[in-house]
Amino acid sequence: MPKWLKDAVFYEIYPQSFYDTNGDGIGDFNGIIEKLDYIKSLGCNALWINPCFDSPFHDAGYDVRDYKKVAPRYGTNSDLYRLFGEAHRKGIHVLLDLVPGHTSEEHAWFLESQKAEKNEYSNRYIWTNAAFQPAKGFLYIGGETERDGVYVLNFFKSQPALNYGFLNPEEDWQLPADHPDCVATREAMKDVMRFWLDHGCDGFRVDMADSLVKNDDQKKSGTSAIWRNVREMLDAEYPEAAMVSEWNGPEMAINQGGFHMDFYLNWSGNGYSSLLRDYESGEEDHSFFKKDGSGDIMRFLDEYLPRYEATRKNGYYCLITCNHDTKRPKYNLDDSELKIAYAFLFTMPGVPFLYYGDEIGMRYLELKTKEGGYGRTGSRTPMQWTNEKNAGFSTCPADALYLPVDTAEGAPSVAAQEADGNSLLSTVKDLLRLRHEEEDLQADGDFEVVYAESGKLPLVYRRGSLLLALNPSTERVSAPVGEADAEKKVLYAIGDGEVKGQEITLAPQSFVVWK
């Protein structure tokens, strides 16, 4: 386990929209370099940058055309190497986004694979034996290639699935996972990883990490075996490199696959969604952090606690504010609600991830799709730095922007919130400072629920020697606590709270930490 993860707080950057330094309307590596001090000022000491590799951008870069070359619109490979160096000088680690499950249909491997003549890459992707033989049970494309066969997709039409084999092959075109050509796919991906690690990258966020071996069993034992093999390579060659999976199955990703971290993702109706985005379940929104207090923390804890307990010895189950695939938390929560929500997310075990712009409460915008974003596009708009032209993101004409900036009256900006000690941004900084100062609050510190009742408030929990309580609602609430807790002193508070005897009382919309 890389030691630096213990106190890591990640900042996710969608590079298209972070900061444009050459006036072409799209963000770039130099822009990220210029803003490293800002990222540091937040209390973030690690970055996850969404795919920044050469791509036709049918899925915002998740359709990689060349794994070892950056997309020219962000700069050059040398610029990215410089970004690694500058970030390291400031104590910031950098994860790139590894997309191992599929490539772009324009990747050189696929161009070879689709040729009629057999070659080294014929089995790099999954093909049936004839254009009229469907790949039953899969999304597939036929009729587009000189090769007589159909190929399997992993996501959009532009993303053919790489071939890591099948756990239980059922057709003669399905190769077993230990077939030399499937092993070659895995080794090719390790080669990509080594390339970036050798140039100074600190690890990877892994896209659709659970999607490699097809016809896998429920426990994903085929796919996990591949990741274990990758972890062995990392432990031997790059012991400080970190891996976080897009999986949302920590028992599989962490315990079996050897990932250091796994994301708790927003799956409609799941525990994480019930905290911030309950509207996704299609019913009335009872998100726990809404101030009407109608949420139920047990919807989260019942799912989270067993997973946390099962994996805490081996890795970190991580909470996110949002990501480039979800609606921003500002969609249904105002800043007063977000403060309490972030207080929770940033004081929980595991490694927190803050999506760019969530620190100022950027809004989700209703926009036409861009680069395969569809409903996700509205969470990918330019970072709002100032109240000047294009929100200070770019000097280009407004119609040349990658996506429009939020021009709403009162749209938040970094400049305005930096000047306001009571802003969401200031609260984020205070919370992250507290996390860095108190070892008990960090990734591997103990976590114990003190008071959590279905449909009731507050939520009270311990992190090591610290007592924490939060009340998202506009009512005063109280709960029983331990005898010794009355001795503790308030270390940090949003709002107000007190421990008297064996009772804790919290004012409306409050979060308090006692030590």
Residue ranges in contact with ligand NOJ by CB under 6 A: 59, 62, 99, 155, 207-208, 246, 324-325
Least distance to ligand NOJ, CB of residue 14, Å: 10
Least distance to ligand NOJ, CB of residue 12, Å: 10
Q: Whose Cβ is closer to ligand NOJ: residue 70's or residue 99's? A: 99
Q: Whose Cβ is closer to ligand NOJ: residue 246's or residue 296's? A: 246
Q: Whose Cβ is closer to ligand NOJ: residue 312's or residue 380's? A: 380
Q: Of all residues in this chain, which one has the CB nearest to ligand NOJ in the complex?
A: 62
Alpha helices for 57-172 (secondary structure H) = 77-89, 108-113
Place of tokens 């920590």: 250
Least distance to ligand NOJ, CB of residue 330, Å: 20
> How many angstroms separate the CA atoms of 68 and 195, rounded?
7
Q: Whose Cβ is closer to ligand NOJ: residue 124's or residue 380's? A: 380
Cβ–Cβ < 8 Å for 223, 214: no
Sheet holding 448-451, edge to edge: 448-451, 459-463, 466-471, 510-514, 490-494
> How many angstroms separate the CA atoms of 199 and 85, rounded?
9
Place of tokens 């941004």: 425
* CB crowding 312-331: b at 16 or more within 10 Å, else e: bebbbbbbbbbbbebbbbbb
Least distance to ligand NOJ, CB of residue 46, Å: 18
Cα separation values, 272 from 144, 265, 481, Å: 41, 7, 26
Least distance to ligand NOJ, CB of residue 207, Å: 5
Least distance to ligand NOJ, CB of residue 53, Å: 12
Q: Whose Cβ is closer to ligand NOJ: residue 59's or residue 438's? A: 59
Q: Whose Cβ is closer to ligand NOJ: residue 259's or residue 385's? A: 259
Least distance to ligand NOJ, CB of residue 325, Å: 5
SS3 annotation, 294-334: CCCCHHHHHHHHHHHHHHCCCCEEECECCCCCCCCHHHCCC
* 479 CB-side CA count, 13 A: 22
CA 265: distance to chain centroid?
Answer: 8
Least distance to ligand NOJ, CB of residue 96, Å: 14
Q: Whose Cβ is closer to ligand NOJ: residue 28's or residue 63's? A: 63
Q: Whose Cβ is closer to ligand NOJ: residue 265's or residue 305's? A: 265
Least distance to ligand NOJ, CB of residue 376, Å: 7
Other CB atoms within 10 Å distance of the CB of residue 350: 25
Two tokens, residue 152: 């399997």
Shortest CA distance to 391 belongs to which of 366, 360, 419, 369?
A: 360
Q: Which residues on neighbouring strands pair with residue 504, listed in sequence order? A: 479, 499
- Consecutive H or E run containing 197: helix 180-198
Q: Whose Cβ is closer to ligand NOJ: residue 373's or residue 497's? A: 373
